[in-house]
Structure 1
Amino acid sequence: MAVRALWQCDRDGKMFTSKKDADAHDQMLELAEAISNAVNENVPGLNETQLDDIGRLIARNKDLFAKAFKGKSAELSKLDFAEPVDEIEDKLTQDNIAKFDKAKIG
């Protein structure tokens, strides 16, 4: 039986196979929270989900936004809001889908 070290992010409970990836995810969530708070203070009328989505979108794509702020606004056409999926979580999801499909068929 192989043993695999996992790191869990305190903010959202996501699991990672490397400390570097866990730290990067935690920093992204910290930035997203700061962005959400700043937007909340300056743009009235947004609900919590919208604020979270805005914060995560900007934090996850901070490099593209940085390029856009430097005059390359076309970079924003590359924005990606999809949540990155950890390989273990992805495998578990695929296994669960396969089990569900087998249960439906059988």
Structure 2
Amino acid sequence: MAVKALWQCDRDGKMFTNKKDADAHDQMLELAESIAQAIEENVPGIESEKLDDIGRLIARNKDLFSKAFKGKTAELTKLDFAEPTTDADADNKVTKINKVS
């Protein structure tokens, strides 16, 4: 039987087959949490679940937002709330969460 090393993200329990992906995911979640906290402090009345969604959307698409802040606002049309469920999906970037309003 082969042994396969896995890394688990402390924040959400997601498992990864390599440390680099696990660290990147953890950093994204940390950024999302900070964004959500900043919004909560400055825009009262937003539901906690919505704050989490907004934080993850911005953190996951930080490169697009960075370009938009530099004047390339058309980049925001490429926003995606994709959330891979496995390493294979993360590599292919094909799995999305279906949001229910």
Superposed pair shares fold, TM > 0.5: yes
Aligned pairs for 1:23-62 (under 5 A) are 23-62=23-62
CA drift of 1:88 comes to: 6.6
> What amino acid is aligned across from residue 11 of structure 1 in structure 2?
R
CA drift of 1:61 comes to: 0.3
CA drift of 1:68 comes to: 0.4
Instruction: Point out the structure with the larger helix share.
Output: 1
Question: Percent of pairs identical after alignment?
Answer: 77
> Residue 6 of structure 1 aligns with which residue?
6
CA drift of 1:87 comes to: 3.4
Task: Tell me, in whole angstroms, the C-alpha distance in 2 between the residues paired with 1:6 and 1:39.
Answer: 34
Change (3 A) 1:37 1:51: same
With normalisation by structure 2, the TM-score equals 0.84
> Residue 87 of structure 1 aligns with which residue?
87
Task: Tell me, in whole angstroms, the C-alpha distance in 2 between the residues paired with 1:73 and 1:2.
Answer: 49
With normalisation by structure 1, the TM-score equals 0.80
Task: Tell me, in whole angstroms, the C-alpha distance in 2 between the residues paired with 1:61 and 1:85.
Answer: 17
> What amino acid is aligned across from residue 26 of structure 1 in structure 2?
D
CA drift of 1:2 comes to: 1.9
CA drift of 1:86 comes to: 1.4
Name structure 2 gaps, 5 residues minimum. 91-101
Structure of higher CA gyration radius: 1
> What amino acid is aligned across from residue 23 of structure 1 in structure 2?
D
Aligned pairs for 1:13-24 (under 5 A) are 13-24=13-24
